[in-house]
Amino acid sequence: EVHLVQSGAEVKKPGESLKISCKGSGYRFTSQWIGWVRQMPGKGLEWMGIIYPYDSDAKYNPSFQGQVTISADKSISTVYLQWSSLKASDTAMYFCARQRDGYLVVFDLWGQGTLVTVSS
Amino acid sequence: EIVLTQSPGTLSLSPGERATLSCRASQSVSNTYLAWYQQKPGQAPRLLIFGESTDFRRATGIPDRFSGGGSGTDFTLTISRLEPEDIGVYYCQQYGRSPWTFGQGTKVEIQ
């Protein structure tokens, strides 16, 4: 069965660093882009960026460029989203999602989400 | 970036009724590159419909009561006969021009 499984919920303080993960299984992980989507409390969806696990080619939404880093380790079928210095405004649910096979940037497989809470 | 505006904010209908959700783009979306997702409370979004050229296609496993339409700046998602399990928030997403953007969502309730 095909899955994306994300790491568990995190509670952090402002200024701390964080790296969350998304592990794929059941399909050829290196051949499909994986994106990250933010959902702030009670709000809609925002595309943050996307990475191609085969060569770690990453593209960012300008709104998130420089705020987060997306990386991949294809040897363990995992992509990451990381912050070097968290802010309270980073409190949100973060989803990883697989781009459908091909060139259309639609997301056909989603992780269960990782809730990040940043509070002093 | 392309801004997507969805209407109505909330749609409250009875089972068996037809639901029509709207998504309007601030600029023309090329090649009908627009998708629809459903998000139920406490769950991740699920892909329902996506467009390519002039056609809309249902994702794998999506019932045929869901259909997509539109072009240019105006798009619709239609649920032909509403079922109780269709409750949730529905989002449109454009992938015609980066950054890919989502609408703010339409909440579907069952009366």
Contacts with B105 from chain A: Cβ below 8 Å? 44-45
Of B53, B52, B51, B5, nearest to B26 (Cα)? B5
CB contact under 8 A, B50 and A95: no
d(CA A40, CA B51): 27
3-state DSSP assignment of residue B9: coil
CB contact under 8 A, A44 and B91: yes
The pLDDT, as a whole number, for residue B36 is: 98
- Alpha-helix runs per DSSP H in B1-111: none
B67: its two tokens: 């259909």
CB contact under 8 A, B99 and A47: yes
The pLDDT, as a whole number, for residue B53 is: 85
Of B104, B1, B99, B94, nearest to A61 (Cα)? B99
- What does pLDDT average to in each consecutive run of 10 residues of chain A (120 residues)? 97 98 96 97 97 97 97 97 98 97 92 98
- Which amino acid is residue A29, in one-letter code? F
The pLDDT, as a whole number, for residue A111 is: 98
**What residues of chain B have any CB closer than 8 angstroms to a CB in chain A?**
33, 35, 37, 39, 44-47, 50, 52, 59-60, 91, 93, 95, 98-105
The pLDDT, as a whole number, for residue A101 is: 83
Q: How far is B33 from chain A (nearest CA, A)?
A: 8
Q: What is the pLDDT of residues B60-101, one digit of tens each?
A: 999 999 999 999 999 999 999 999 999 999 999 999 999 999
**Among B95, B101, B106, which would you mutate to test the A interface (most chain A Cβ atoms within 10 Å of its Cβ)?**
B95
- For residues A14-50, one letter each, b for 16 or more C-beta atoms within 10 angstroms of the residue's C-beta and e for the rest, the string is eeeebebbbbbeebebeebbbbbbbbeeeebbbbbbb
Contact B76, B22 (CB under 8 A): yes
Q: What is the pLDDT of residues A22-37, one digit of tens each?
A: 999 999 999 999 999 9
